[in-house]
Amino acid sequence: MKTLSENKCFGGVQGVYSHDSRVTGTEMTFAVFMPPQAEDGPVPCLWYLSGLTCTHENAMTKAGLQAHAAEFGLAVVFPDTSPRGESVANDEAYDLGQGAGFYVNATECPWAPHFQMESYIAGELRDLISEQFAVSVYHGITGHSMGGHGALTLAMKYPGQYQSVSAFAPIGHPAASEWGRKQFEAYLGKDETAWAGHDAALLLKEKGWAGDILIDQGADDQFLELLRADALSAALVETKTSHAYRLHHGYDHSYYFVSTFARDHVSWHAERLIG
């Protein structure tokens, strides 16, 4: 692991690091905020998965999570959204390829050699974080848009690894949305049965979630139809999943929306990870 930068931040340290990933076959960059409480021992860990076009840096600089994480004593991990590099497959569209990994393990060419983001986030990077940073065994996961999709699906697929989950404006039913169908066909192939394991609305019915879920959604989100918030909300009710689904009038899809409700999410996770 290489240290690219470390800065004092709200009494803790905001660092940016890179490592050679065995899973993606590329160098991966990620960021970690360690709160001041980590000086006294391991702290719970909150994962923040970003949306389309983002790197590790977007949420690190725009979401304002560090102040809240320092208040409640949580580490925060900001992974990248995809593998990157000249040898990595890409597409001219913003919503496919580099910056648009969708947190799945691709099975189709030319994506399969590097786009293994599910295994990277839930496996390799988690192991690296646990080895290199003072984090406890208690982990929560959240994210925005494509990252909200990733947070919900990974939490349900790996329930033993995450004790809490929330999302900001998640892509809730990608198998029935242009933000999902296009990418799933490219990464996973035309067999739609393979897509169900990466769709929060469908996973709720198949696997469910034993805990509760916090979701914040802007009512004036310019991408509301693509997110299929209606399908996710219906699935939460149908499966009787304990949840708080909050619709906020006047808010859009931007980081102004995310940063407005960031403290609520950090507090939510802290209550479930620390007690």
Catalytic amino acids? 145, 221, 253
DSSP-assigned states of every residue in 33-101: EE-GGGGGS-EEEEEEE--TT--THHHHHHS-HHHHHHHHT-EEEE--SS--STTS---SSTTSBTTB-
- Are 214 and 264 within 8 A, CB to CB? yes
CA triplet 106, 112, 118: central angle to 5 degrees?
Answer: 40
Cα four-point dihedral sign 161, 217, 80, 90: positive
For 234, list phi and psi in degrees, rounded to 5: -65, -40
HSE-CB at 228 with a 13 A cutoff on CA atoms is 22
* Nearest-angstrom CA–CA distance, 49 and 224: 19
* Nearest-angstrom CA–CA distance, 89 and 98: 7
Number of other CB atoms surrounding residue 115 within 10 Å:
28
- Are 171 and 226 within 8 A, CB to CB? yes
* Nearest-angstrom CA–CA distance, 128 and 121: 10
Q: 25 exposed, middle or buried (CB, 10 Å; 0-12, 13-18, 19+)?
A: middle
Cα four-point dihedral sign 98, 102, 107, 113: positive
Which has the closest alpha carbon to 179: 215, 143, 149, 218? 149
